[in-house]
Copies of this chain bind each other. A is one copy, B any other.
Amino acid sequence: MNYNETFSSIYNVLSTLDNEGQTAQYIPELAVIDPEKFGVSLFTNEGELFSFQDAEEKFSIQSIVKVLSLVLAYRQLGVQIWDRVGVEPSGTPFNSLVQLEYEKGIPRNPFINAGAIVVADILVGALKDPEVAFLDFLHEIIGDKSVNYSEAIAKSEKEHAFRNLALVNLMKSFGNIKNDVDRVMDFYFKICSICMTTEELVKVFSFLANEGVSPITEKGIVSQRQAKRVNALMQTCGFYDESGEFAFKVGLPGQSGVGGGILAVHPGKYTIAVWSPKLNAKGNSFLGSKFLEAFTTAIGSSIF
C-alpha cells in the first residue's frame, strides 16, 4: 500500500480548517518555530518508509523521549522499576503534584513528568555515563549516529523548570529520588532536548511495532512481552488527561511532545510520526491529532 496519496489528501482537507492553538511559549527555542511546519512519516515492519512535507526537518521531540528512556530502564532493570512508578492513567495534567502528594511520591505512570523524572533517576543510578549511554542506545536501534542533544534547548528548559523542580523535590522528600536532584534534572533536560525528524522518529520506535525487534538492524531491543507492555502504557497514558480521547478517536498507542510531535504505533504493522507545532489546550499538537484521527479513519486501521 502506498500512503503518500492518503497523506496528501488528508492534509489538503485539514489545510482548509483553522490551525488552532499556539506553539509552546515557555522557552524561546520552541516559541519561535514556524507554526506552519508540517511533517509526517510512516515506517512499516517490512522496512518501507513514506514521508510527506517537512519530514526531514529536525524538531524538539520533548516528551516523546519518555518512552525511550522507559524502554532503556525496563531493559536494564526489568520489573523492579514498577516499584517506583505505576502503570495507571493519572486523570490529571502532565505536571500535577496533587496525586503525587496523596500517593506518597510514587508517580501514576512513566509518561507524566514525575514518572519520567523517576525513570531518569533510575538511569542515572544504573548507567555509568548516562548521557553517552542514552545516545548509544538510540544509535543502536537506528543503526547510525544521526541523533543528538540540543544544548540550547536543554539550557533553556533548565531556566524555566520550576514546576519540574517542585515535582522532583516532592518525590525526593518521599524518598523516591535516589540521586542528587540537580544531577537527575540535568540528565532529564538533556534527553528532553533531543531533536529528530519524523523519519528518524518512526525508525527509532519501529521495534515497538515489531515485537521488540528493530526491523532495520534486526536486533532485539526488548522482549516481545516488554514491547507489548510499553505499547499498552502508551495507549492508556501517553496523552496525559487526553489519553482517553486519543484512544477513542485515533485508536493507536501514542506519545505526544510539546514540540508538536506525535508518535504512534500500530503493533504488527507500522509506526507513524507527525509534526505540527501548534498545540491544543491540553498541550498536544492540534493538527497532528486531527491528522492521525483522519488517517486511521481513512485506512480503516486501528487496534480496536
Partner-binding segment picked from A5-13, A139-147, A196-204, A247-255: A247-255
A170: nearest residue on chain B (CB-CB)?
A: B166
Q: List 13 A-B contacts (CB under 8 A).
A: A91-B92, A97-B101, A163-B170, A165-B169, A166-B173, A169-B169, A225-B297, A229-B248, A231-B304, A236-B236, A253-B304, A267-B304, A303-B303
Q: Confirm or deny: A241 has a beta carbon within 8 angstroms of a beta carbon on chain B.
A: yes
**Given that A91-B108, A97-B97, A235-B304 are contacting pairs, would A172 and B162 also be in contact in the complex, using a CB cutoff of 8 Å?**
yes
Would you list which residues of chain A between 241 and 265 have a CB under 8 Å from chain B?
241-245, 247-249, 251, 253
Set of chain B residues within 8 Å of A123, measured between Cβ atoms: none
Query: Are B253 and A233 interface neighbours, CB within 8 A?
Result: no
Seen from chain A, the residues whose Cβ lies within 8 Å of a Cβ on chain B are 86-92, 96-99, 101-102, 108-109, 162-163, 165-167, 169-170, 172-173, 181, 224-225, 227-229, 231-233, 235-237, 241-245, 247-249, 251, 253, 267, 297, 300, 302-304
A93: nearest residue on chain B (CB-CB)?
A: B101
Interface of A: prevailing SS:
helix
**Given that A297-B225, A303-B304 are contacting pairs, would A244 and B88 also be in contact in the complex, using a CB cutoff of 8 Å?**
yes
Q: Which of B88, B163, B304 contacts A242 (CB 8 A)?
A: B88
Query: Are A89 and B304 interface neighbours, CB within 8 A?
Result: no
Set of chain B residues within 8 Å of A304, measured between Cβ atoms: 227-229, 231-232, 235, 253, 267, 303
Taking the closest CB of chain B, its distance from the CB of A281, in whole angstroms, is: 14
**Number of copies of this protein chain within its complex:** 4
Set of chain B residues within 8 Å of A224, measured between Cβ atoms: 300
Set of chain B residues within 8 Å of A267, measured between Cβ atoms: 303-304
A296: nearest residue on chain B (CB-CB)?
A: B228
Query: Are A232 and B251 interface neighbours, CB within 8 A?
Result: yes
Query: Are A236 and B89 interface neighbours, CB within 8 A?
Result: yes
Distance of A92 Cα from B90 Cα, bound (Å): 9
Distance of A225 Cα from B162 Cα, bound (Å): 37
Q: Which of B101, B172, B247, B302 contacts A236 (CB 8 A)?
A: B247
Distance of A251 Cα from B253 Cα, bound (Å): 12
User: Chain B CB within 10 Å — which of A88, A109, A227 has the most?
Assistant: A88
Given contacts A109-B244, A163-B169, 19 further A-B contacts (CB under 8 A): A89-B243, A90-B91, A97-B97, A97-B98, A97-B101, A98-B98, A162-B172, A165-B165, A166-B166, A228-B302, A229-B249, A229-B251, A229-B304, A232-B251, A232-B304, A233-B244, A235-B304, A236-B236, A236-B244
